Amino acid sequence: MAQLPNTATIKQIITALQEMQAINQKADLVSVIGSPAVSTDDVATIITKLQSAKNTLAANLTAQGQTALPSDSLTSLASKVTAAPVRRWASGTGSFRYSSTDTTHRVSGLAFTPVLVVVDVDYGFPAARWENTIFVNSNGVPRVDYITFISKGFTFLCPGSGSTSLTNYYWIAVE
């Protein structure tokens, strides 16, 4: 900012003070917005960068199934973030001893009731179930009872085998 002459009028002094206030407000705005805005940006550039960030936020919310537009207020966009669906998941392993008869194994204590489960057993079968869709086992046999959803978990059936060996299983469950 240029220095005022000794003969500056009251109007020039007030204008200079207002410009100083605007410079301070711009610095405050930049500190609130953060990157990509920088203190050397002019106000028009800061506005463009803020709108670009709003556009990205609205697009990301839309991709998550929310109705969001770049013209929505920041408050509206922020409230939609918490409404966006979030799918939790868990995975784990276990082991069991094969039996000559079918055996059911239970996974419980999850923080959610799954809608998708995939189970794979060493030396056995992979199985998956998503909501009401049942996938076939490795032999091409669709069996409803291979995976059953229960509250906060699931059960899976392991067909009987002539072996009594200890085997591992691996699973993933998605809300």
pLDDT for 20-43, tens place per residue? 766 667 788 888 888 888 888 888
Helix (H) or strand (E) holding 46: helix 43-63
Tell me: do 100 and 31 sit in the same domain: no
Contact, 115 vs 174, CB < 8 A? yes
Which of the listed residues 83, 99, 127 is the one where a domain comes to its end? 83
pLDDT for 112-156, tens place per residue? 999 889 888 887 667 777 776 666 555 665 555 578 889 999 998
Domain CATH code at residue 109 = 2.60.40
Which of the listed residues 41, 65, 83 is the one where a domain comes to its end? 83
Using the predicted structure, report yes or no on whether residue 163 has a pLDDT greater than 60: yes
Tell me: do 77 and 100 sit in the same domain: no
Tell me: do 152 and 118 sit in the same domain: yes
Picking from 138, 135, 106, the residue whose alpha carbon sits closest to that of residue 122 is: 138
What is residue 156's three-state secondary structure? Answer: strand
**Stronger pLDDT, 39 or 52, i.e. the higher one:** 52
- Report the share of the chain in percent with pLDDT over 70: 85
Which of the listed residues 57, 83, 109 is the one where a domain comes to its end? 83
- The residue segments making up the domain with residue 45 are 10-83
Please report how the helices 10-33 and 43-63 are oriented relative to each other, as an axis angle in degrees rounded to 10: 30
Within a domain: 161: yes
pTM for the model stands at 0.51
Using the predicted structure, report yes or no on whether residue 169 has a pLDDT greater than 80: yes
Tell me: do 77 and 119 sit in the same domain: no
Please report the pLDDT score of residue 68 as a whole number.
Answer: 93
- State how many domains the chain has: 2
* Backbone φ and ψ of 43, nearest 5°: -60, -40
Tokens 């709108």 sit at which residue?
51
Average pLDDT, the chain: 82
Please report the pLDDT score of residue 22 as a whole number.
Answer: 64
Which range is least confidently modeled, 52-66, 100-114, 128-142? Answer: 128-142
